[in-house]
Amino acid sequence: MMGPDTDDKKRKDLNAAEIGALAHLYRAEVYRSTIWRTRLDTTTNWSVVTLGIALSITFAAPTASALPLVLVGVLLLFFLMVEARRYRFFNVWRARCRWIETHFYAPMLDGGDLHLEENWQKTLAEDYWRPKYHVSLIISVGRRVRNTYLWILLIQALAYMGKIIVHPEPAISVSEVMERASVGPISGEIVVALGLLYIFSLVAIALWSYVHDRGRALRGERNSGSSMG
């Protein structure tokens, strides 16, 4: 049976000054999460603008090359990795905000026990003592693909296939399409295969991250003291 001393180590009653300090801390975390959310939007805008430029160049004329839509995939992958890294920082501030909201403000507004969990303060304190990312890089990549980049990739793929099928004139066979997809000495089959691998790999990561997040939600890890991510 847990004694009073052990319970005090896990959870302490906050006085008026400490509650005020916690309120200011919450405002600071909201501000930091807002700043990093803006940085995520900036990276997404870079991807959209870059893809738009590639589309403009590719469809400027029927004889224009489809190569810009291939090369833009490298830039999109770079922007995705930058955004995933930024998301890991954003997730730290967002997770802390949600932790305070669900373990301090929500119980207070609900009229119940102010401290919903015995170790909520300890978990938050540990996150400040030893800060770390709450999600891995691959999970971040999957979440960003699911939320944003899946649509960008879809537009890129459809535009590329539409270009090599329609321009400079409608293709009449699959071999003609593959011939148009060739880049220098690289055959069209290899280019298309690499493109499919590129898209399906990111989609697979997105699906894996969804299953991972769904599994954590079903196990209740996001509402327990073991995780803030």
What's the token pair of residue 89? Answer: 């920082």
Task: Say if 118 falls within a structural domain.
Answer: yes
> Tokens 């990111």 appear where?
202
**Cα angle: 69, vertex 72, 78; to 5 degrees:** 155
Decide if pLDDT at 17 tops 90.
no
Question: Can you give the pLDDT at residue 107?
Answer: 80
Task: Say if 138 falls within a structural domain.
Answer: yes
**Domains contained in the chain, number:** 1
Task: Say if 23 falls within a structural domain.
Answer: yes
pLDDT band at 112 (very low <50, low <70, confident <90, very high): low
Quote the mean pLDDT of the chain: 86
Task: Say if 11 falls within a structural domain.
Answer: no
Task: Say if 8 falls within a structural domain.
Answer: no
Question: Can you give the pLDDT at residue 200?
Answer: 95
Residue 35's domain comprises 16-223
Task: Say if 9 falls within a structural domain.
Answer: no
Quick one: 141 exposed, middle or buried, by C-beta within 10 A (0-12, 13-18, 19+)?
buried
**Interatomic CA distance for residues 39 and 50, integer angstroms:** 17
Query: Could you tell me the pTM of the whole model?
Result: 0.83
Question: Can you give the pLDDT at residue 193?
Answer: 95
Q: Centre a 10 Å sphere on the Cβ of residue 152 and count the other Cβ atoms it contains.
A: 19
